Amino acid sequence: MKNLYKILLVTILIGAFTSCQKDSRPNYQYMPNMYEPVSYETYGEYEVFPGKQEAMLPAEGTIARGESAFDYTDSEADYQAAKASLKSPLDSTQVDYDKAKGLYSIYCAICHGNKGDGNTSFSERDLIIPGGYDTKDITIGSIYHTIYYGRNTMGSYANQLSEEERWQVAAYVEKLKADLQK
Ligand code: HEC
């Protein structure tokens, strides 16, 4: 009889512990630290960040490793200033046209065409008509500014290309322009 009580008690206890389990919502956490990290989670929203933004922005004036400061802003005046006086840090021996061509084909040719003449399947359908580089008043500085900030309907490619790659592609655009004018 005593044993029967014990069996009954154990059965009730097991029942009590398991019957409330619902797989649709989290159950008891016996060691919550294992589930909920003390550190902040990526893309979490936290009060400590201004405006509950997902993470802190880099301090003003921060320059990414391997990049140098770019003193021109996204204004028309600075576009004109870049056109007039911004020069490439690469000399002619440092320009690698094969590498630049590869980058150009990935990021630019879809809209500007492999030759830079603007003839693409987009222009045929009147969707994107950037016009040929030979029709544009551009310099290495303005091309760099355009890659950095974009221009009118063209977006920025600063995130896709490193500083050195931007100068390589800019040199390649100059070459395409010269070839078109031959
Ligand atoms: C999604 C389409 C698209 C892509 C991709 C694109 N462009 Fe453009 N680009 C345009 C359009 C459209 C214009 C014309 C903008 C305007 O002046 O209204 C333009 C204009 C330009 C100009 C002339 C700007 C000026 O000073 O008048 C240059 C130079 C240029 N692009 C270079 C590039 C380079 C280099 C890349 C690749 C890194 C690139 N573009 C990628 C659409 C594109």
Cα–Cα distance, 148 to 73 (Å, whole number): 10
Provide the pLDDT for residue 99.
Answer: 97
CA atoms within 13 A on the CB side of 155: 6
Provide the pLDDT for residue 20.
Answer: 66
Please, are residues 166 and 174 in contact by the beta-carbon 8 Å criterion?
Answer: no
Report CA dihedral (24, 26, 27, 33) to the nearest 10 degrees.
160
Cα–Cα distance, 116 to 156 (Å, whole number): 18
Cα–Cα distance, 161 to 140 (Å, whole number): 16
Provide the pLDDT for residue 38.
Answer: 73
Pocket test for ligand 1, best of 79, 83, 112, 144 (most atoms within 8 A of CB): 112
3 CA distance to ligand 1 middle (Å)? 86
Please, are residues 148 and 158 in contact by the beta-carbon 8 Å criterion?
Answer: yes
Provide the pLDDT for residue 40.
Answer: 77
Provide the pLDDT for residue 1.
Answer: 66
Question: Is 111 close to ligand 1, i.e. is its CB under 6 Å away?
Answer: yes
Q: Is 62 left (phi over 0), alpha (psi -120 to 50) or beta?
A: beta
pLDDT in tens, the chain (182 residues): 678 899 999 988 888 777 766 777 767 777 877 777 777 777 777 888 888 777 778 888 888 888 899 999 999 999 999 999 999 999 999 999 999 999 999 999 999 999 999 999 999 999 999 999 999 999 999 999 999 999 999 999 999 999 999 999 999 999 999 999 98
Encoded amino acid at 156, one letter: S
Question: Is 169 close to ligand 1, i.e. is its CB under 6 Å away?
Answer: yes
